[in-house]
Chains A and B, each alone.
Chain A
Amino acid sequence: MLNPGLVLFEEDSRLIDKELQKLNQLARAKVSFLVDKDGQLIASIGETGDIDTTSLASLTAGNIAATGGMAKLLGEKEFSILFHEGEKDNIHISLVGQRAILVVVFDDRSSLGLIRLRVKRSVTALTEVFDKLAEKMAKTDSQQGGSSPFTEITEEDIESLFG
């Protein structure tokens, strides 16, 4: 069975942003962001100024995919948490259900214990958001939606992208 493309509506986006805000603040993190397992950035919160979040999202998804491959080779279902420690900044990566990846970047203003605690709570909240989103997408599919921006698209629209 194919995974359908992800569709994020404004209210879902708001809920996700709110949860990331809360996590970032309570965990005293620098940046928190959510990535689709296919490598698309869903949302980011915090000191994102200097960070190339698009590339980071793609590499995070690659990292999770590679780790998932390693897990399978060892007979594990998955490794749900990854942690990379740097000299100043550290990255904590965890799976949110089957669809998304939560990434938290933090420095010595926080600690791994605090991050793990707050991430665990946020993962539960975000999993709920994605479960509801999946239900909504299934419903939209069965009703044949019609609200997609692509419904009225023409060949000329596509041509214009390439100048």
Chain B
Amino acid sequence: MSFINYSAREISCKIVYYGPGLCGKTTNLQYIYKKISPDSKGKMISLATETERTLFFDFLPLALGDIKGFKVRFHLYTVPGQIFYDASRKLILRGVDGVIFVADSQVERMEANLESMDNLILNLKEHGFNLEELPYVIQYNKRDLPNAVPVKEMDEALNPRKVPAYDAIAPKGDGVFETLKDVAKLVIMELKKKS
């Protein structure tokens, strides 16, 4: 959960990118890392296998600026998407403030999207969270691929709650910052609500 440090005048929040294997969670972080000015970012850590599949998590700390004299830090994490890494995936959700679900738009990955979404709900429950009450946005990634499912159908399958959903092509950066900005906004508004 968020950490407010009155002594250092800092607020830190944890945002987790969730989704099926190879949907583009790490690519989102890599794009953000590439585009954000060096003053605003820390080192990006990737705990990955030799074939660059996320093994435990990716981590990217951002310090975007100040609000009311407090430095606002966002710690971005990705989970390993592959099904058999569920134990690790569950651990990353500890203390989460906001979730971005990255869906793979390819028709043959729809089942994997649904499975990952169910897994997210279940793993959040184990930490005492309810997805319906958590700051949460969806990203439909890989919109440039010819076999992409129409957005309307993806909405019907993955977004019954009608949370904000963004089309994205993560390697090009389309939709990447829009998604992050929206969840960051929801996280801060949630902090405001609690204050």
Identify the A interface with B (CB < 8 A): 1-10, 12-14, 36-40, 42, 52, 54-55, 58-59, 61-62, 65-66, 68-69, 145-146, 148-153, 155, 157-158, 160-163
Contact = CB atoms under 8 A, between A and B. Distances in A.
Given A3-B95, A146-B195, A69 B87 contact: yes
B64 A38 contact: no
B192 A151 contact: yes
Contact of B191 (A12, A14, A59, A150): A150
A161 B192 contact: no
Contacts of A59: 45, 59
A149 B128 contact: no
Interface stretch (B69-77, B99-107, B143-151, B167-175): B69-77
A115 to B, nearest CB: 26
B67 A158 contact: yes
A157 B181 contact: no
B40 to A, nearest CB: 10
A42 B3 CA distance: 9
A37 B94 contact: yes
B67 A8 contact: no
B11 interface: yes
8 contacts: A55-B45, A58-B59, A61-B94, A62-B91, A148-B191, A150-B195, A157-B68, A158-B188
- Give the interface SS of chain B, mostly helix, strand, loop or mixed: mixed
B12 interface: yes
Interface residues of B, number: 48
A37 B61 contact: no
A162 B61 CA distance: 15
B11 A55 contact: no
Contacts of B91: 62, 65-66, 68-69
Contact of A149 (B67, B77, B184): B67
A37 B6 contact: no
A55 B61 contact: yes
A43 B29 CA distance: 26
Nearest to B192: A150
A3 B1 contact: yes
Contacts of B128: 1-3
B11 A9 contact: no
B7 A5 contact: no
B14 interface: yes
B91 to A, nearest CB: 4
A62 B57 contact: yes
A149 B69 contact: yes
Nearest to A141: B194
Given A2-B129, A8-B3, A145-B195, A153 B94 contact: no
Contacts of B184: 158, 161-162
Given A55-B43, A59-B45, A38 B95 contact: yes
Interface in B115-133: 128-129
